[in-house]
Amino acid sequence: MCRWLAYSGNPLQLETVLFNAKHSLIDQSLHSRLGHTTTNGDGFGIGWYGHPTDIPFRYRCIQPAWSDRNLREAARAIHAPMFVAHVRAATDTPSQETNCHPFRHGRWLFAHNGLVRNYPAVRRDLMVAIAPELFPSIEGSTDSEVLFFLALTFGLELAPVTALERMVAFVEETGRRHGVDEPLNMTVCATDGEQIVAARYSSERQSRSLFHNTSFRHLHELYPDDPRIAMAGQDAFLVLSEPLADLPGWWQEIPESTVMVARGGEIEQFPFEPQVA
Amino acid sequence: MCRWLAYSGNPLQLETVLFNAKHSLIDQSLHSRLGHTTTNGDGFGIGWYGHPTDIPFRYRCIQPAWSDRNLREAARAIHAPMFVAHVRAATDTPSQETNCHPFRHGRWLFAHNGLVRNYPAVRRDLMVAIAPELFPSIEGSTDSEVLFFLALTFGLELAPVTALERMVAFVEETGRRHGVDEPLNMTVCATDGEQIVAARYSSERQSRSLFHNTSFRHLHELYPDDPRIAMAGQDAFLVLSEPLADLPGWWQEIPESTVMVARGGEIEQFPFEPQVA
Amino acid sequence: MCRWLAYSGNPLQLETVLFNAKHSLIDQSLHSRLGHTTTNGDGFGIGWYGHPTDIPFRYRCIQPAWSDRNLREAARAIHAPMFVAHVRAATDTPSQETNCHPFRHGRWLFAHNGLVRNYPAVRRDLMVAIAPELFPSIEGSTDSEVLFFLALTFGLELAPVTALERMVAFVEETGRRHGVDEPLNMTVCATDGEQIVAARYSSERQSRSLFHNTSFRHLHELYPDDPRIAMAGQDAFLVLSEPLADLPGWWQEIPESTVMVARGGEIEQFPFEPQVA
Amino acid sequence: MCRWLAYSGNPLQLETVLFNAKHSLIDQSLHSRLGHTTTNGDGFGIGWYGHPTDIPFRYRCIQPAWSDRNLREAARAIHAPMFVAHVRAATDTPSQETNCHPFRHGRWLFAHNGLVRNYPAVRRDLMVAIAPELFPSIEGSTDSEVLFFLALTFGLELAPVTALERMVAFVEETGRRHGVDEPLNMTVCATDGEQIVAARYSSERQSRSLFHNTSFRHLHELYPDDPRIAMAGQDAFLVLSEPLADLPGWWQEIPESTVMVARGGEIEQFPFEPQVA
C-alpha cells in the first residue's frame, strides 16, 4: 500500500505539495488517514520533467521519506511543470531503490498504489508476457513494475487508456487462471510529460481512494485570498491518493472504475473497462 | 521517542522477543501503543554478549526495523544470555548509524528513550563536561549518546546507579541554567554483561512507560502450559518500554523515579534520586 | 568482477580470513591484485551455517565491505564450521542487497565471480528456463542469481557437479543462439553445509583465478610454529579467488575447467565439462 | 583523503565535469592518480547555488559516487553557475551523510581534502574553540567539519582569507601543544555563491595537489574547435584536486601555501600565511 500524487500546471516548487501542505505527502508517509496501512516508510520516489519532450529525472531512495534530508533539498531545488511523487509501503518485496516508484521508460513515468493478489503464483506468467525487447529493462521485483512493462507491451506510449485496460484484463485473466478471485487492486498514474493518465480500478470494485482538485479557476473565485490557490495557475491539475488539505470544495473523488486524462489544461474522465487484447 | 528492551537469563534466541512475540519490539516499531509516537522507523540497534566479560557485539542500521532483512537473520542466528534492543524515532538529529542505540564503551551498552529538552541550547555545556579521555569516542550527534558519556564520566563503570543519578542532576542543573523548565525525560538501560540497570525518571515526574516481567518462577506456576514461559528459565529478567503480550500477571510497571538492578537472578528496586556530584 | 572465499573445517571466527589475514578478503575489496577490477566496493555478503542441516544465515549489504562497521562486528561474533564470503564489483546491475552474493535457496548458498556476456540479450531466455516453482524466489536482477536458479533447476540439490555442468551448457547454448561468442566466465561456489563444490570454467578457457589451500596436514609439518596454521584443523579447506597470504607451499591454483568437491575432510578434483541436459 | 572541485561561470550542467570529462571526478572516485589513496568510495556530496544570494542546495550520500544512480540523475538535472563537488575517502571517521562534504552554514559551502593529524587528541580543544552559537550546528564527527566551524568562528563570512589563515594558525598551535609535529594538511574550498576561495597549505609544506584552469579566454584561442572549451564561458573558473583532462596548457598547479579568490570573473592569488588571531 502506498500513496502518490501527480501534478501538471505552471512550474511548481515540489516542496509545496511534498512538505508544506497541511496533510502533505510526506505527512502521509507517517500518518496516512485513508490508506490501507498508516505508515508508508519503505522508500519513496519523485520523477519530474524539465522539457516535456525529454527524458524525465528521478530521485528514489529506500529511506522513509520523512527522514531523508536529500529529499527536503530536492523538493526545495526543483520547480517543475509536471511531476509524480510516491511513498511506499512494501507488501512482500524488498525495500530497494529499484522497487521504488515512479518507474521509468523513455519519457514515461508510472506510479501504482495497490497490489496484484497472490503475486508469487502469477509473476512468471505476467513477466513472460512482457515484450522481449522490454524485458532487459526490468530492474526490480515488484508487481507494480511488471504492471508498467505490461502496459508498455500493450501500447501505453500510443494509446495509454486502452493499454491500461488491456493490461488489467490480462492480469485479471492470468490471476483467475491461477485461481485468484480478485486478482488486481490499483490506482495508477502514467505520464509522458505532456499528459497525465490516472486510473482507479479493482477486480472487487473497491479500489484505493483517488482524488483530483476541482477546477482551480473555480477555486480562485471561491478562495480569492488563499495564497496556496493563488500560487497555482488556472490550469493546474493535481491527482492524488489522499487530499492535501481540508478546504471544502477543493477535492473531488474519482469514481470507481474510472480513468482521467489531463493534457494541456483539458481534463476528461472516462469509464475504465478492462479489454481483452 | 523510542522503544527498547533488555534481557538477561538463559541464552535466548533474539527472534523470540524481537519478532515472534505478539506485540514484539519490531511490531512496536510500526505500531507502538504506549509510545509518544506510534512509528519508530528511524533505525534500530541490538547489542549482545557472548562471554559476559568480553566486549559485547552490535548490529545497528538506519533502516526501519520492520524492513531490514539482515535483522531477521541476526535475530535467528543469535542466542545470548544478555542483550539490549532498541527501535528509534528520531527527534531532530539525523538518521545515521552512529545515532542508533545501544551506545557502547568497553563492556558497557546503553539505550535511552526520551529526550533532553532544548538540546541545542545545552549541548555544548553537556559535551564539555564529558571527561577529556572519553571525548574522542563520541561518534554521533544525539542527546542520548551524550547522556551515556556523562554517566561514564560520573562513574558508571564503578557505581552505575549513583553515576546515573549524578548524570541526571547535572543535566537538570545545566538545563535550568539555560532556562529549561523540565530538562530531562528518560527511561534508560545500562548493562555490562553481568548486570542490567534500568531507570525511569523525568524532571516532570511523568516518564515514558517502563515494565518488567514478574517472576518467571511465579509465571511457570500460573501458566504451566504456555510454551513462551516454558522457554524462559526461572531467573529470566526482561525490562522494556512496552509489554510484549497480554497475559494477566505477566508484566509489572516500574514506578516513576525508580531504578532496577538485575544481577545473577537477583532483582532489586530503589528510588531514583538525582544527586549533585 | 568480484572476489569470494569459502571455508569448511573446525569452527573458525570469520574475522580470521575476512580481516586479519595479510591479504584478507576485505583488503581485496579495496586492492585486488589478481582481479579484473581492483576495487570491489559494490556490496558484500556472508553466509554461514550453524547446524549443517539447517537453513544457513546471511548478512548482505550494499556498503563497501571496508567501511561497514556491522561486518566487523559480525566477523568477530561468528564462529562457523562452514561459510562463504563475497565482495562485489557490479558490472551493469544496480548496487542493491538482493544482488549481493551469496544467494540462498533452502540449505544451499551460491557465490559467483565472472559474468554472462551480453546478459540483456539472453536474460529472458535464461529466466524462462528456470523451473516455475523456483521462479517466485528470484529477488534481484543479476546474471549470478539466474545462474544459481538454473543450477537448481538442473538438479543442484541432488547432483551438484552435473547440475553445474548442465547449467553451463545451457547458458553457452543460449548465448551462442544469440550470437555471443564466449557466453560465460565463472568461478562459482555452491554449498549445502555439508559439502563445498567449487568450479572454475569459462567459454574462452581463460577463467578468473581460483585457489585452494594445500593440505593443512602438510602445512602443519611445513610451518610448525605459524599460529595461523595451528589455528586451522587438519581437515580445514579454503577455496578462494585470491590467496590470503604469501607462505610458499600454502596455495595451489585450481586448473582451468575443473571442479573441486570438499566433504567431510575429503577433497576431490574433476574435469568440468559442460553437459547438454 | 578525498578529491574535490569547485566551479563558477556560466551555468553548467554538472554531469559535464562529474561524469563526461575524461578523468572526471567520478572517475577519480574509483581511480585517483594523484591522490594519497586511489579509491574515494566513502560517500560524496554536491552543493550548488540557484540564486547567488540564497541558501545553496546539497545532495550527499554515503554510497560510492560511481554506483549512485541518483547522482547521475542529479548531475543531468542540475545546471548551476556555481557548485562544489567532493568524493570522500574516510580516514577514521564513519561513513555517514553528516560526514560528507560540502558542509554548509547559511550561504557558505566548505570542502576539504587532507587531515588534522592525531585528531582524537586535539578534537576536544578544537571543538571547544568553536563559537557557542555555532556549536549546535555541528552534525558529524570529522575533522573537516570542525575546520569549517572554526573558520566561521574566525570570521569566514566577513574576511574569508584571513579567517582561514587564523583557523590554520589555531589548529597548528593546538596540535603542537599536544605534541603533533605537522598538525594539518589541507586543500580547502569555501564559497558563498559569489566568490570561491581555495587554499593549499600544510604544516609540512607538502600539501595535496590543487589545480585551476588557465584563462578560458586563452583556451578559446588555443583550442578554437574543442567543444568542451566552447561550452564554458570566457570567465569560467574551475579549481580541483586533480586535472580532468590532458590538454596541454589547460591546467595550472596552485603553488604550495597559496590561496586563490575568484569573484565576478576576476581571479587573484595570494600567499597563504597562518595568522595568530
Cα(B120)–Cα(B141) distance, integer angstroms: 10
CB atoms within 10 A of CB B107: 16
Of D98, D123, D136, the CB nearest to B94: D98
* Cross-strand partners of C45: C60, C86
DSSP A215-237: PHHHHHHH-TT-HHHHHS-TT-E
Contact A58 D73 (CB under 8 A): yes
B116: Cβ contacts below 8 Å, ≥ 6 apart: B122, B126, B143, B146, B147, B171, B175, B183, B184
CB atoms within 10 A of CB C118: 15
Report the gap between the CA of D140 and the closest CA in chain B (Å): 7
- Least confident stretch, A161-165, B225-229, C134-138, C140-144: B225-229
Backbone angles phi, psi at B30, to 5 degrees: -95, -35
> pLDDT 10s digit of each residue in chain C, 277 long?
689 999 999 899 999 889 888 888 888 888 887 777 778 888 999 999 998 778 999 999 999 999 999 999 999 999 999 999 999 988 778 889 999 999 999 999 999 999 999 999 999 999 999 999 999 999 999 999 999 999 999 999 999 999 999 999 999 999 999 999 999 999 999 999 999 999 999 999 999 999 998 877 777 777 777 776 676 677 889 999 988 876 677 889 999 999 999 998 899 999 999 999 7
Task: Give the end-to-end CA distance of chain B in Å, rounded to a whole number.
Answer: 28
ipTM here: 0.92
Contact D69 C94 (CB under 8 A): yes
Q: Is C61 on the interface with A (CB under 8 A)?
A: no
pTM for this model (two decimals): 0.94
Count Cβ atoms within 10 A of the Cβ of residue A206 and give its class: 0-12 exposed, 13-18 middle, 19 or more buried. exposed
pLDDT at residue number D246: 66
Report the gap between the CA of C44 and the closest CA in chain A (Å): 16
A266: Cβ contacts below 8 Å, ≥ 6 apart: none
Residue A5 near residue A85, CB atoms below 8 Å: yes
Q: What confidence tens digit (pLDDT) does each residue in A29-41 have?
A: 888 777 777 788 8
pLDDT at residue number C189: 98
pLDDT at residue number D233: 73
Helix (H) or strand (E) holding C191: strand C184-191
Place of cell 535550568: B176
Per-residue confidence band for D243, with pLDDT thresholds at 50, 70 and 90: confident
Report the gap between the CA of C104 and the closest CA in chain A (Å): 15
Per cent of chain C over pLDDT 70 is 97
DSSP B212-276: EEPPHHHHHHH-TT-HHHHHS-TT-EEEESS-SS--TTSEEEPPSSEEEEEETTEEEEEE-----
Count Cβ atoms within 10 A of the Cβ of residue A9 and give its class: 0-12 exposed, 13-18 middle, 19 or more buried. buried
Cα(D131)–Cα(D133) distance, integer angstroms: 5
* Cross-strand partners of C7: C83, C238
Cα(A100)–Cα(C134) distance, integer angstroms: 24
Of C30, C42, C69, the CB nearest to D67: C42
Q: How far is CA D209 from CA D1, D151, D201, D270, in A?
A: 11, 21, 10, 17
Cα(B46)–Cα(B24) distance, integer angstroms: 14
Per-residue confidence band for B244, with pLDDT thresholds at 50, 70 and 90: confident
Q: What confidence tens digit (pLDDT) does each residue in D93-150 have?
A: 888 999 999 999 999 999 999 999 999 999 999 999 999 999 999 999 999 999 999 9
Q: What confidence tens digit (pLDDT) does each residue in D11-50 have?
A: 999 998 898 888 888 888 888 877 777 788 889 999 999 9
Residue D212 near residue D244, CB atoms below 8 Å: no
pLDDT at residue number B228: 67
Cα(D44)–Cα(D60) distance, integer angstroms: 6
Signed CA dihedral, D176, D177, D180, D184: sign only: negative
User: Average pLDDT, stretch A127-152?
Assistant: 97
From B164, B172, B171, select the one nearest B126 (Cα to Cα). Answer: B171
Cα(C54)–Cα(A18) distance, integer angstroms: 47
Q: Is D269 on the interface with C (CB under 8 A)?
A: no
pLDDT at residue number D247: 67
Cα(D25)–Cα(D41) distance, integer angstroms: 12
Contact A139 C141 (CB under 8 A): yes
Q: Which residues of D touch B96 (CB under 8 A)?
A: 96-98
CB atoms within 10 A of CB D192: 21
* Cross-strand partners of C189: C111, C198
Amino acid at A183: P
From the candidates B91, B98, B103, which should be mutated to test the interface with D, based on the most D CB atoms within 10 A? B98
Place of cell 539505550: B111
User: Average pLDDT, stretch A131-151?
Assistant: 97
Tell the CATH superfamily of the D3-271 domain. Aminohydrolase, N-terminal nucleophile (Ntn) domain (3.60.20.10)
Q: How many residues does chain A have?
A: 277
From C101, C87, C97, C89, select the one nearest C23 (Cα to Cα). Answer: C87
B73: Cβ contacts below 8 Å, ≥ 6 apart: C57, C58, C59
Helix (H) or strand (E) holding A238: strand A237-240
Peptide bond into B81 cis (omega under 30): no
Of A41, A42, A94, the CB nearest to B39: A41
pLDDT at residue number C118: 96
User: Average pLDDT, stretch B206-211?
Assistant: 92
Residue of D nearest to A46 (CA): D70
pLDDT at residue number C140: 95
Residue A217 has pLDDT above 80, yes or no: no
Surface of B (23-52) touching C: CB under 8 A: 50
Backbone angles phi, psi at D251, to 5 degrees: -110, 150
Task: Give the end-to-end CA distance of chain A in Å, rounded to a whole number.
Answer: 28
Contact D139 B141 (CB under 8 A): yes
Q: How far is CA B59 from CA B17, B141, B194, C97, in A?
A: 16, 19, 20, 17
Task: Record the cell numbers describing residue C223, joined without a space.
Answer: 610451518
Amino acid at D61: C
Amino acid at B237: F
Contact B60 C70 (CB under 8 A): yes
pLDDT at residue number D69: 94
Residue D1 has pLDDT above 70, yes or no: no
**Exposure string (b/e) for D65-85, b if CB count within 10 Å is 16 or more?**
bbbbbbbbbbbbbbebbbbbb
Q: How far is CA A182 from the centre of its chain?
A: 21
Per-residue confidence band for B1, with pLDDT thresholds at 50, 70 and 90: low
Cα(C86)–Cα(C100) distance, integer angstroms: 8
Report the gap between the CA of A67 and the closest CA in chain B (Å): 7
Place of cell 543462439: C177
Cα(A79)–Cα(D19) distance, integer angstroms: 24
Residue of B nearest to D118 (CA): B136
Q: Which residues of D touch A58 (CB under 8 A)?
A: 70, 73
Task: Record the cell numbers describing residue D275, joined without a space.
Answer: 595568522
Backbone angles phi, psi at B43, to 5 degrees: 100, 170
Place of cell 512475540: B21
Q: Which residues of D touch B132 (CB under 8 A)?
A: 124
Q: Is D257 on the interface with C (CB under 8 A)?
A: no
- Least confident stretch, B27-41, C160-174, D148-162: B27-41
- Least confident stretch, A75-84, B123-132, D202-211, D235-244: D235-244
From the candidates C31, C63, C70, C87, which should be mutated to test the interface with D, based on the most D CB atoms within 10 A? C63
D35: Cβ contacts below 8 Å, ≥ 6 apart: D1, D2, D3, D28, D89, D208, D209, D241, D242
D258: Cβ contacts below 8 Å, ≥ 6 apart: D199, D200, D201, D269, D270, D271, D272
Q: What confidence tens digit (pLDDT) does each residue in A44-74 have?
A: 999 999 987 789 999 999 999 999 999 999 9
Report the gap between the CA of D67 and the closest CA in chain C (Å): 7
pLDDT at residue number B247: 67
Beta-carbon pairs below 8 A across chains A and D:
31
More confident residue, B217 or B182: B182
Peptide bond into C102 cis (omega under 30): yes
pLDDT at residue number C142: 96
Q: How far is CA A81 from CA A11, A105, A109, D201, D266, in A?
A: 4, 19, 14, 46, 37
More confident residue, D198 or D222: D198
Q: Is C90 on the interface with D (CB under 8 A)?
A: yes
